[in-house]
Amino acid sequence: MNLKIAVLPGDGIGPEIIDQALKVIDAVCEKTGHSAEYTQALTGATAIFETGNPYPEETHTACMNSDAVLFGAIGDPHFDNDPKAKVRPEKGLLEMRQRLGLFANIRPVTTFPSLLHKSPLKKELVEGADFVAIRELTGGIYFGRPQGRSEDGNTAYDTCVYHRFEIERIAKLAFEFAMKRRKKLTLVDKANVLATSRLWRETVQEMAPSFPEVELDYMFVDNAAMQLIQWPKKFDVMVTENMFGDILTDEASVITGSLGLLPSASIGIHTSVFEPIHGSYPQAAGKNIANPIATVLSAALMFEYAFKLNNEAEMIRKAVEASLEQGIVTEDIDKTRAVSTSTLGDWLASHIKMNF
């Protein structure tokens, strides 16, 4: 099978962690007889510096012509420290989501037995935690209009807008995920306050009879934020709107002990994007110290979701588990005997070649 992959390294540590994922993809292809065809493209601050546009048309064409997109990270301190910047790297990410129709962000949250001691939560709370957070990605307050500030600059406003079809398509995906797992779905909203949340709850309630095997419950977002920390093992599949999902999935990421461990998949109408949940970590850029595991596991999701190659995805996950068990880790996991970013990538690729 020929895998056509658009590669968008982006900013900061993006190029370094992407390089390690490509090593792993190549190792899997070598072992299984597949071939990978990569198209490199610019995005984020890197694209702004070269073209003035955080998501150039050439990048969009590369994504549209590929079966999947492997994405690194976006963000640069140059723009963070300039509140009047007219173009920001993050605008490229939002544009990519809109133009590719990336309506659902899927973030699996699982704990690794060898790293339970790294979690800020007690071992008995996190051991066995395994759930999927599904975040709506192209609607809500991040995209709602009108948006802006008053002429005197003293008032600002954003508008949260959702349409029923946006809720239906992501709720259907969430129900389907629940059917493949433990058949429990939690809708997170703020229906006691927000009209958009009441539309979410009404729509999901109407869809529930089509999935009679799924146990459906509802949770206000403030309560969900608390219960994620108190009882993370109670969740199976969680679905929620854009901003709530942004906040809750970052909160959930600490359960595993490191932001460098969690992958994500953004499922789209035209193609799908696979990326680590962490940012560009500019302080570490070029130092060969960043953890590439989240990006490598994002490549595993790519094999699973984009190419339906579950065995190949499992090869990657087993290699990652082996590296954690044997202590082949970067400094965010263990400062005393850390390996470099590139060394970890080489180890994972070699493990796949030698053991599968």
Predicted confidence at residue 4, as pLDDT, reads: 98
- Annotated active-site residue in 19, 130, 158, 250: 250
Predicted confidence at residue 255, as pLDDT, reads: 87
- Annotated active-site residue in 162, 189, 190, 305: 190
Predicted confidence at residue 347, as pLDDT, reads: 98
- Annotated active-site residue in 26, 67, 80, 246: 246
Are 307 and 274 contacting, i.e. CB atoms less than 8 angstroms apart? no
Query: Beta strands 68-73 and 273-276: pairing type?
Result: parallel
CATH 3.40.718.10 fits 1-110+262-356, yes or no: yes
**Range(s) of the chain covered by CATH 3.40.718.10:** 1-110+262-356, 120-131+138-256
Question: Cβ-count burial of 36 within 10 angstroms (0-12 exposed, 13-18 middle, 19+ buried)?
Answer: middle
Q: pTM for the complete prediction?
A: 0.90
Q: Give the count of beta carbons closer than 10 Å to the beta carbon of residue 203.
A: 20
How far is it, in rounded angstroms, from Cα 12 to Cα 285?
A: 5
- Annotated active-site residue in 142, 172, 218, 353: 142
pLDDT tens sequence across 74-127: 999 988 777 777 899 999 998 999 999 999 999 999 988 888 888 888 999 999
With a cut of 70, list the residues of the chain below it in pLDDT. Answer: none
Predicted confidence at residue 117, as pLDDT, reads: 85
Category of 240 on φ-ψ map: left (φ > 0), alpha (ψ -120 to 50) or beta:
beta
- Annotated active-site residue in 157, 222, 287, 308: 222
Active site annotation includes 158: no
The CATH architecture that domain 120-131+138-256 belongs to is 3-Layer(aba) Sandwich (3.40)
pLDDT tens sequence across 130-172: 999 999 999 999 989 999 999 998 999 999 999 999 999 999 9
Active site annotation includes 250: yes
Question: Cβ-count burial of 229 within 10 angstroms (0-12 exposed, 13-18 middle, 19+ buried)?
Answer: middle
Predicted confidence at residue 221, as pLDDT, reads: 98
Predicted confidence at residue 256, as pLDDT, reads: 81
